[in-house]
């Protein structure tokens, strides 16, 4: 085998001429391009000093990373609806939120109960008022006067208020001309036979008999004459006239001396006899109704009669 020397060109070397010359030069020196200019190997040459590298401590995570599940156990990705439902469930389980909802629910229930109670009370009051109005209207209708022509005629003749005459008739007989009491009082205004005879003499009525008290016109005429007599005794005080019509004039004079605060008038509460007090109170109630609805000549008289105070001459 033929050997080649470095000086001889290698006929098989196809490198450029300059590169072949530098390679031949290194071959003659017994060095390589990786060695230094002084012919020492790179590993034998002194290395430059470098600053020591500062290493930082590893960063500590605040929370341990979640354990990775094996691929076969990994949960599928959650949808947006599932995330929304989970957030709602978390908010629903919040104790403060639960307490707030409970408190608001209790307040709403109490408000609804109070509103329902008030509504029931208002409805009950309206029903009571409607019932009272209906009863009052029925009572007014029951007071509708009968024999109005006789009442008005003799009221004008004997100067007695027709409303007062109608009130006495309503309380005595409820407009029953055949009414008769256990004591013997007869007719519309329940006159006793002796009182009827006495008033017939004062009125100048001829042909009078006790059976004449069942006649409506005769009874109203004599009863109105008797009211005129009592009104003259007690200065037209309707309470005293009612007491005198029921219990007698002498008893009323005695009550004025014993129980009246001024010796002239008696209030309903000052009447000592219970049945006379009840009678006078009922007459005054009917008197107020007649003054207001059937003979409204003086509206203020109706208020006075309803209050139980004397409205003036009967």
Average pLDDT along the chain: 80
Position 147 scores a pLDDT of 93
Question: Do residues 209 and 186 share a domain?
Answer: yes
Position 70 scores a pLDDT of 59
Question: Do residues 156 and 192 share a domain?
Answer: yes
On whether residue 42 sits in a domain, the answer given is: no
Question: Do residues 154 and 271 share a domain?
Answer: yes
Of 125, 142, 159, the residue that ends a domain is: 142
Q: In 3D, which of 225, 204, 222 has the Cα closest to residue 214?
A: 222
On whether residue 52 sits in a domain, the answer given is: no
Per-residue pLDDT of 233-248, as tens digits, reads: 999 999 999 999 999 9
On whether residue 207 sits in a domain, the answer given is: yes
On whether residue 278 sits in a domain, the answer given is: yes
Question: Do residues 118 and 245 share a domain?
Answer: no
Q: Could you tell me the CATH number of the domain that includes residue 300?
A: 1.10.530.10
On whether residue 74 sits in a domain, the answer given is: no
pLDDT > 90? residue 98? no
Per-residue pLDDT of 57-92, as tens digits, reads: 666 556 555 566 555 555 677 788 887 877 777 666
Question: Do residues 158 and 258 share a domain?
Answer: yes
On whether residue 242 sits in a domain, the answer given is: yes
Distance CA 97, CA 91 (A): 7
Question: Do residues 238 and 303 share a domain?
Answer: yes
Question: Do residues 104 and 215 share a domain?
Answer: no
Question: Do residues 235 and 106 share a domain?
Answer: no
Per-residue pLDDT of 150-171, as tens digits, reads: 999 999 999 999 999 999 999 9
**For the chain, what is the domain count?**
2
What's the whole-model pTM score?
A: 0.61
Question: Do residues 224 and 194 share a domain?
Answer: yes
Question: Do residues 241 and 275 share a domain?
Answer: yes
Distance CA 111, CA 113 (A): 5
Q: How far is CA 61 from CA 18, 68, 148, in A?
A: 61, 16, 112
On whether residue 121 sits in a domain, the answer given is: yes
Question: Do residues 116 and 220 share a domain?
Answer: no
DSSP the chain: -----TTSPPTT--S-HHHHHHHHHHHHHT--TTS-TTS--TTTSPPPP-PPPP-PPPPPPSSPPPPPPPTTTPPPPPPHHHHHHHHHHHHHT-HHHHHHHHHHHHHHHHHHHHHHHHHHHHHHHHHHHHHHHHHHHHHHHHT--SSHHHHHHHHHHTT--HHHHHHHHHHHHTT-TT-B-TT--BTTTTB-HHHHHHHHHHHT-SS--GGGGGSHHHHHHHHHHHHHHHHHHTTT-HHHHHHHHHH-HHHHHHHHHHH-SSSS---GGG---HHHHHHHHHHHHHHHHHHHHT--S-HHHHHHHHHTS--S--
Of 123, 142, 161, the residue that ends a domain is: 142
Q: In 3D, which of 225, 267, 220, 263 has the Cα closest to residue 243?
A: 267
Question: Do residues 179 and 213 share a domain?
Answer: yes
Of 89, 118, 142, the residue that ends a domain is: 142
Domain boundaries, position 121: 100-142
pLDDT band at 307 (very low <50, low <70, confident <90, very high): very low
On whether residue 61 sits in a domain, the answer given is: no
């Amino acid at each position: 085998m033929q050997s080649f020397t470095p000086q001889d060109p290698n006929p098989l070397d196809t490198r450029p001429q300059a590169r072949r010359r530098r390679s031949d030069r290194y071959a003659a020196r017994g060095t390589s391009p990786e060695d230094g200019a002084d012919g020492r190997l790179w590993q034998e040459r002194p290395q430059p000093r470098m600053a020591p590298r500062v290493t930082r401590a590893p960063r500590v995570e605040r929370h341990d990373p979640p354990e990775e599940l094996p691929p076969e156990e990994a949960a599928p990705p959650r949808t947006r609806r599932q995330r929304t439902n989970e957030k709602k469930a978390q908010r629903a389980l919040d104790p403060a939120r639960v307490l707030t909802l409970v408190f608001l629910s209790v307040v709403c229930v109490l408000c609804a109960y109070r509103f329902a109670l008030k509504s029931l009370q208002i409805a009950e009051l309206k029903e009571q008022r409607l019932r009272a109005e209906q009863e009052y209207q029925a009572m007014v209708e029951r007071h509708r006067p009968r024999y109005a022509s006789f009442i008005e005629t003799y009221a004008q003749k004997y100067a007695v208020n027709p409303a007062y005459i109608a009130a006495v008739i309503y309380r005595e007989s409820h407009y029953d001309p055949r009414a008769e009491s256990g004591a013997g009082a007869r007719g519309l205004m329940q006159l006793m036979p002796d009182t009827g005879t006495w008033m017939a003499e004062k009125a100048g009525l001829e042909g009078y008999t006790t059976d004449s008290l069942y006649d409506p016109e005769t009874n109203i005429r004599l009863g109105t004459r008797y009211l005129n007599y009592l009104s003259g005794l007690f200065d037209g005080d309707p309470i005293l006239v009612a007491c005198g019509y029921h219990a007698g004039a002498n008893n009323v004079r005695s009550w004025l001396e014993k129980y009246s605060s001024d010796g002239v008038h008696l209030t309903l509460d000052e009447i000592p006899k219970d049945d006379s007090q009840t009678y006078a109170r009922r007459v005054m109630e009917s008197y107020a109704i007649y003054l207001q609805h059937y003979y409204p000549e003086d509206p203020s008289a109706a208020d006075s009669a309803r209050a139980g105070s004397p409205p003036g001459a009967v």
